[in-house]
Structure 1
Amino acid sequence: MQLEHVNLVVKNIPASLKFYQAAFPHWRVRSEGSGEWYGKARNWLHFGDDYQYLSFSDHGEGELRDNTGHLVGLAHFGYQVKNLDAVIERLTAAGFAVDKVGASNPFRKNVYFIDPTGYEVEFIEYLSDIPIERNNNLS
């Protein structure tokens, strides 16, 4: 079993696409269109590869939960990457700053970015193939 897609309601599809294209240059726009979602017009776009993707829709209202707060809701989602430094370089070159660096750990390194809508996205590179090391609490 694997996660196939995440559906994100975003403020601006082109701005979101710019962020995720910088993070995942090997992904592509799989499909896009417009329609209605429970009585409200929306545009949508699927961005990914043949097996996983992000779905963006632009019909949302209001603000996301505060990432530093305690309200129920999505805190962040994370992607395992092979080369964290390359991801950081691509995102910063596209105009996005690292929001925070993860705790020091001998078996992984990670950073967090905030996408154009305000979703917190973690990128993590594991420095070990041993699960007990990858999943430890050392900091």
Structure 2
Amino acid sequence: MYLEHVNLVVADIAEVLPFYHAAFPHWRVRDQGHGEWYGKPCNWLHFGDDYHYLVFSDHGEGANRDLTGHSVGLAHFAFVTTNLAALIERLAQAGFAVDAPGAQEPFRENVYFIDPAGFEVEFVQYLSDVPAERNLNRAVSQEAV
């Protein structure tokens, strides 16, 4: 099993697409069209590769949740990259700055960006193939599962 797509409701697809195109230069617009969401017309667009994609729907109203607050909702989502420095450079060239650095960890590097729609996106590069190192050897007790 794997995550196939995430559907993000935004106000303006054309505003967010340059961010994701810079982050994922090998992705493409897979499909797009028009629809309706509970009585409101919208445009939608699938942006990704043959296995994973993001859906953008433009029927959003208002601001995204306050990421410094405690409201229920999406905090962030993350992508793994093999070259974090190159990704940061591509986003910088497209006009997007790192919002926050990740924690100092021996086996991974990560950064956070805020996309134009207000979603926090984490990018992580693992420096080890050993799961215990990648996950900081934090075991989850069976009672918590």
Alignment match, 2:33: 33
Which residue in the other structure is 2:133 paired with?
A: 133
How does 1:43-122 map onto structure 2 within 5 Å? 43-122=43-122
Residue-by-residue CA offset, 1:31-56 (whole Å, 9 max, x unaligned): 00112111101000000001110000
Q: Matched residues, percent identical? A: 70
Q: Give the alignment's TM-score, normalised by structure 2.
A: 0.93
SS of alignment partner, residue 99 of structure 2: strand
- The C-alpha deviation readout for 1:41-96, integer Å capped at 9, x for no partner, is 10000000011100000001122111111111100000000100011000010000
Give, in angstroms, the shift of residue 137 of structure 1: 7.2
Number of residue pairs matched by the alignment = 138
Distance 1:99 1:63 in 2: 18
Report the Cα distance in structure 1 between the residues aligned to 2:83 and 2:117, rounded to whole angstroms.
Answer: 25
Q: Which amino acid aligns with 2:15?
A: A
Alpha-carbon distance between aligned partners in 2 of 1:65 and 1:106, rounded to the nearest angstrom: 32
Q: Secondary structure at the match of 1:98?
A: coil
TM, length-normalised to structure 1: 0.96
Structure 1: runs of 5 or more not aligned:
none
The secondary structure found in structure 1 opposite 2:42 is strand
SS in 2 for 1:6: strand
Residue 19 of structure 1 and its aligned partner are, at CA, apart by 0.4
Q: What stretches of structure 1 move > 6 A for 4+ residues in a row? A: none
* Separation of aligned partners in 2, 1:54 and 1:112: 18
Task: Work out which of the two has the higher radius of gyration on C-alpha atoms and give 1 or 2.
Answer: 2
Whichever residue aligns with residue 33 of structure 1, its letter is G
Letter in 1 for 2:91: L
CA gap 1:99/1:137 in 2 versus in 1, 3 angstroms:
farther
* Partner-residue secondary structure (3-state), 1:118: coil
> Which AA in structure 2 matches 1:8?
L
